[in-house]
Amino acid sequence: MPMVLAGVEARKRHIVLHGLDSQDLAFRERALNTIIREASSDPKLRTRVAGHLPELSSEAVLQVYQAMVLAGATEAPELRHAWLGQLDRLEFPHLIAIGHQLPGDGLAERKAVVKAALPHLDTVDSSEDYDRLVSLLDAHRAWSCPPVPVHHYVKWLDRWVTSQDAAIRRAAAFQLGNLPRGHGSIEPVYLHDRLVSLLDDPEPRVREAALLAIAGLVPRHPSIYLPDIENAQQDPAPQIASLASRLLAVWERSTTQPYEASVRPAPPENFFSGSWDDTDTLIAFESAAPASLDVKLDPAMPHLVRIAATRVSRDAEPQWLVDTLRLNDRSAVRDLACVVLANRFSREELSGLIDRLLKDHDPDARGSGAILVGLTGQGLELLQSAEQQETLVTTEYLMRLAQWMQNQRPELDTQLLGMLGRKGIPESTVMLAMLHRGLSHDVLDHLLSFGSPLALETSAHGNPSPLQWVWHDRWHQVLRRYLPAEAPLPPPDADPDEVAEHFKDLLAWHALSRHGSF
């Protein structure tokens, strides 16, 4: 290196290493400006700064971080872990400032923020600072019990229970109902006292949420909570009184005689009416045992009939559903097709279809191929290669989701709930992935709108209720694949009124069993 350039580099290094914590504010500003100008293109400069961070004051670390943000260099590998190593020594306001700028979905960031923030819960003096800590931990999906100690989580919940905002009180009921699943050391008397106070709330939606939360505690403490449900039958709001009666009925039925799905005789071989659009044909296929009928593929079959035929035909082949797997606007139907294929055929039998789908020009076909990989594990390496070449955001996400279904891509653990209902992401497919990973209660929480009356109607946002496509696109068959046998799902030939009743029973069953079977 020429002597002139070496001198420039030495001077820059001197400015950075000695100016970042200087009491001479002009000298410090020069050092920060050097970072802003050059850090994005100078890895040696970033490395020097990373090594110098432990020597800087808490305030200086914050200033360096903000300079790196302006330089666009905070995610550089040599800096990412350097920031995290400094968090637990930062003063409170500096921790809050940096913590909120760190990625909220990173596992390493989450661990570092939790380690640094939890000790401050015991030392902050004002409710405003306490709320800032809660906000920081929540931004990193860590405001839950655990990792938050029980006494702090209870302190926070008590503020929610007594809030002037009905929406916050309703959320408090939901959180109270979830506590036993997250932490077993919460005293039953604490839960009971708070939930009973919410059961007397003037706002009906708060009382309804409290009633559903209480239902989840009945299997553990029936003598404590069943009387509360019995009393709720006298609630002035008809939907709450009706829900209480339904909870008691489902509890009684489930504890005295286990639920049994309706059993129908297999259809005769000559049941076909002559029209594949006949609903009776679809019902007959859905009622039959797998691989039990002599049914041939007919190009005139509607997609749902084709899926059901693939399941029951003795001569079915994976290729029967290729066109269904390319459907553009009916993700629930594609999901059902994938589940039927994964259950009907072996991994080896699906290998060729998966390879063909992942290489298809159609993005919906590639997405379906990814979900088949997620369900079966077949073609995982091919999927990972396809993801690297994928250009469409939605299809790339489905490929990542499929890897998560196979216990890879752990960064998605904290992202999935936020994906439900997001525009451009197939809601049904996210729920299928969650079911496959054993998160059925989270799926039912979302699908049944925990704390809200059930109806097959349009949602408040003007979108179709999920229950519409769950039934009309037969996605309840996917639920049947993953939920316990005692879950009161509608039979194939239920009419719309019966479907609504079954889903109301499913809500009651879900509320009662959310912490385990009963």
Q: Are 453 and 447 in contact (CB under 8 A)?
A: no
- Pair 431, 503 in one domain: yes
Number of structural domains in the chain? 3
Range of the domain at 58: 11-85
The answer to whether the beta carbons of residues 232 and 246 sit under 8 Å apart is no
Assess whether 291 and 347 both reside in one domain: yes
How many residues belong to the chain?
Answer: 518
Q: Are residues 248 and 307 in the same domain?
A: no
Angle between helices 204-217 and 222-232 (to 10 degrees): 150
Residue 374 lies in a domain: yes
In a domain, 394, yes or no: yes
- Chain centroid to Cα 65, Å, comes to 31
pLDDT digit string (tens) for 336-359? 999 999 999 999 999 999 999 999
Who contacts 151 (Cβ-Cβ below 8 Å, separation ≥6)? none
Query: Of 42, 64, 85, which one is at a domain's C-terminal end?
Result: 85
Other Cβ atoms closer than 10 A to 75: 10
pTM passes above 0.95: no
Whether residue 292 is found in the same domain as residue 434: yes
> Is 45 within the bounds of a domain?
yes
Mean residue pLDDT across the chain: 85
Residue where one domain finishes, among candidates 37, 55, 85: 85
The answer to whether the beta carbons of residues 402 and 383 sit under 8 Å apart is yes
Of the CA atoms within 13 Å of residue 102, those in its CB half-sphere come to: 32
Reduce the DSSP state of residue 252 to 3 states and report it: helix
Q: Got the DSSP string for 100-160?
A: TTS-TT-HHHHHHHHHHHGGGGGT--SHHHHHHHHHHHHHTT--STTTS-HHHHHHHHHHH
Q: Any idea what DSSP says for residue 458?
A: B
The answer to whether position 269 is within a domain reads no
The neighbour count for residue 329, using CB atoms within 10 Å, is 7
3-class DSSP state of 464? strand
**337 lies in the same domain as 427:** yes
Residues near 293 by Cβ (< 8 Å), separated by ≥ 6?
Answer: 267, 269, 285, 312, 313, 314
Question: Which pLDDT value is given to residue 271?
Answer: 54
* Segments in the chain below pLDDT 50: 1-7, 182, 262-264, 450-463
Per residue, the 3-state secondary structure of 274-342, as one string, reads: CCCCCHHHHHHHHHCCCCCECCCCCCCCCHHHHHHHHHHECCCCHHHHCCHHHCCCCHHHHHHHHHHHH
